[in-house]
Amino acid sequence: MLGDLGTASLTAGLISASLTVPLWLRVALLGRSARQARVATGVTLLAAALACAVLETALLRHDFSVRFVAENGGRHVSGYDTVTSLWSALDGSLLLWLLVLCGYAALLARRRHPPRLHAYAMAVVGVVTTFFFALSALAANPFRSVHPAPVDGPGPNPLLQQHPAMGVHPPLLYLGYLGLVVPFALALAAPLAGPEGRDWLRIARPWTLAAWSALTAGIAMGAWWSYAVLGWGGYWAWDPVENASLMPWLTATAFLHTMLSGALRRARWNSVLACASFLLVLLGTFLTRSGAVASVHAFTESPLGPLLLGLVLLAVLASTLLAGRRDPLPPAPGRTPLLSRATAVLVNGVLLVTIAAVVLIGTVLPLLTEPLTGARSSVGPGYYHRTAVPLAIVVLLLAGVAPAVRRAGDRAAARQLVLPAVAGSVTAAAVGLLSRPGVPALVAFGAAAFTLTGLAGQLGSLLRRRRGARTVRLAALLAHAGLALVALGVAGSSAYGRAQERTVRTGEVVRVSDVSVRLLAVERSAGNGRMAVQARLALTGDGAEHSVAPRLWYDTARDTAVTVPWIATGLRRDTYVTLLSVAADGSTATVRLAVNPLVGVLWCGAALIVGGGLLGFATSVRRIRRRTPPSAPAAPPAAVQVTA
């Protein structure tokens, strides 16, 4: 019953989504009214929402005749985990994907932008929506019925039931990924829409900022989940799925910067980066949903691969044809000073694109080698440490140069950089002479000090400005400071992290620098579809002693063991205790004790970046509101410079 309703809503969504494309094209090509097109877009959203609601209901009611519930539901699963299990497997997550995509489409449909540009962009979004609805309804329908219906299910992947971040991490990532469809659609629509098309960057800015903020938060949340659940003490493993989320983030970051620079407004950089961001989203979807790559977070093998690859190719073709067209307007003549915003933005763009290329080839190469040479190969963190990390440090330095390039003239700008440079070298000298963090970490410390000093110097002049200009700069400042803090956190935790792993009897001690844990007891429990072992340990450190209890549990239905580390978070350092294994008779336990410095700084930095992005989003929305009177014809581009 629920299954039929779900299938019906998917079919209705497919029909209305495929109707939106001709309806919006009618607006764009034939100048008809946009009313029906808006209605069709709204109906598509309703269909997606209904499909999600039906599957949630089926999950909560334990209706095991629905295939997805039979595969991912379970009576022993808690309410929260049951709700989030909608996106714990491929077919259900596709419904959430559709809901977010249709939500963006409906929001964009309601805007009053220049009509032709708007309609063409909506048609592009419509094609993407149609494809994913077709995928969900025809190839990965979660509502197919199961005969006979089982009495219970295995529950979602136990790794996904461990952390509250799982409830927000995938929705945030989807908000980020799919928000990038708007700049993509606008970039494709711009060359089709004629003179109206020149306005696309201004319209795309708030969407891109919103999507980028959500994507940043999603990536950070994923890193946090990995840190708190996977139990190996790290937050980033250069895993294919992590890489898939990083690639669009890199190009979207570059896009956010190139779209700012007035001199670049007519260059092709913007449209190429906007298209590349969404293409990388699609490519990431292909990588993670086709079973092509093996990863902790990848969904299991599925037959969707060829279809998704087809969409990627189609999108590449469309963007090359449209965004690759010659720009009708030549770039503004005139010499740009060396230390100008245009240069900084371009160097930043070049670097971020190169990092994206590094991550892309590192992720894709293992897929290519096996069919071509027959040998398996893998690309480990070492490759990224040699390539992406140095480039990222240069990007960080560039963020430190950013406040200076606003000044007119190379000399004034260079003078402003003296103090940050001094701070950077003092830091590098002090850290390098007092400890041995290794060259990359040391350079990262110096670069972070350089950037933070420059930004702090900017803060003073910022507060004297009038409000409007202040918020824009404050947004950039927050994001850049956040980046520096992330660099500090990454460098600190990778250079000074210490860990010790030992098999201990009751009463014995594992020690790392001044922190130690003593095993008090091993406790076992069973029930609720899982067997759990818990080690009670006394943790001594910072002059205090308290009790900690890392756990290890084994999910019988999925045959998976999950370690639940015990983490004491502090700004200066985290203490991270993991129970790795327990002897059969319970007499000994293998315990890993790690001290991870500055991980808290990393999360603070990520929060600052997201905060900066949201502030920028709020400002750009206000600007659009202020500058476009409702239903007025498009303002000429010169009057709508968003550049601050």
- Residue owning tokens 């999603």: 218
Site residues (CB under 8 A) for another protein, limited to 402-441: 422, 424-426, 428-433, 436-439, 441
Choose between 346 and 401: whose C-beta lies nearer to another protein.
Answer: 346
Binding to another protein in span 436-455, by CB under 8 A = 436-439, 441-443, 446
Minimum CB separation from another protein for residue 363, in Å? 11
| Helix pair angle (35-60, 115-134), 10° resolution | 30
Residue 637 interacts with another protein (CB under 8 A): yes or no:
no
Residue 537, H or E segment: strand 530-541
Binding segment for another protein (CB under 8 A), chosen from 35-43, 95-103, 298-306, 622-630, is 298-306
Q: Of these, 5, 8, 11, 29, which contacts another protein (CB under 8 A)?
A: 29
Q: Do residues 246 and 284 make contact, with C-beta atoms less than 8 angstroms apart? A: no
Nearest CA to 284 out of 97, 83, 84 is that of 97
Q: How far is the CB of 149 from another protein (least distance, A)?
A: 21
Q: How far is the CB of 509 from another protein (least distance, A)?
A: 20
The maximal CA–CA distance of the chain, rounded, in angstroms, is 82
Nearer of residues 22 and 636 to another protein, judged by Cβ:
22
Residue 223 is a binding residue for another protein (CB under 8 A): no
Among 36, 57, 369, 540, binds another protein (CB under 8 A): 369
Binding residue for another protein (CB under 8 A) from 111, 152, 316, 383? 383
Does residue number 262 form part of the binding site for another protein (CB under 8 A)? Answer: no
Instruction: Identify whether the C-beta of residue 180 lies closer than 8 Å to the C-beta of residue 277.
Output: yes
**Look-up: residue for tokens 């699609």?**
282
**Rounded CA separation 237/226 (Å):** 9
Does 634 bind another protein (CB under 8 A)? Our answer is no
Give the 3-state secondary structure of residue 632: coil
Integer angstrom CA distances of residue 148 from 66, 68, 507: 10, 14, 53
Residue list 121-140, contact with another protein (CB under 8 A)? 123, 127, 130-131, 134-135, 138-139
In the window 183-202, what residues touch another protein (CB under 8 A)? 194-195, 197
3-state secondary structure of 585: coil
Q: Which is nearer to another protein, 146 or 168 (CB)?
A: 146
Handedness of CA 138, 140, 141, 144 (dihedral sign): positive
293 DSSP 8-state letter:
S
Strand 560-564 versus strand 515-527 pairing type: unpaired
Nearer to another protein, 141 or 620 (CB): 141
Angle (nearest 5°) at CA 618 between 615 and 621: 145
Nearer to another protein, 195 or 468 (CB): 195
Site for another protein in 569-588 (CB under 8 A): 580-581
Which of residues 59 and 193 has its CB atom nearest to another protein in the complex?
193
Residue 36 binds another protein (CB under 8 A)? no
361 binds another protein (CB under 8 A): yes
Q: Which is nearer to another protein, 127 or 399 (CB)?
A: 127
Q: Do residues 108 and 58 touch, judged by C-beta distance below 8 A?
A: no
Which of the residues 299 through 358 are near another protein (CB under 8 A)? 301-307, 310, 326, 328-331, 333-336, 342-343, 346-347, 349-350, 353-354, 356-358
CB 451 within 8 Å of CB 484: yes
Q: Does 296 bind another protein (CB under 8 A)?
A: yes
Closer residue to another protein, CB minimum distance, 292 or 490: 292
Q: What is the rounded CA–CA span in Å between residue 137 and residue 8?
A: 9
Pairing of strands 544-548, 560-564: unpaired
Stretch that binds another protein, among 47-55, 373-381, 462-470, 511-519 (CB under 8 A): 373-381
By CB under 8 A, what part of segment 448-507 binds another protein? none
Which token pair is 189? 């629509």
Least distance (Å) between residue 113 CB and another protein: 17
How many residues sit close enough to another protein to count as binding (CB under 8 A)?
A: 104
Pair 236, 384: CB distance under 8 Å: no
Report 102-121 residues binding another protein (CB under 8 A). Answer: 116
Q: SS3 for 628?
A: coil
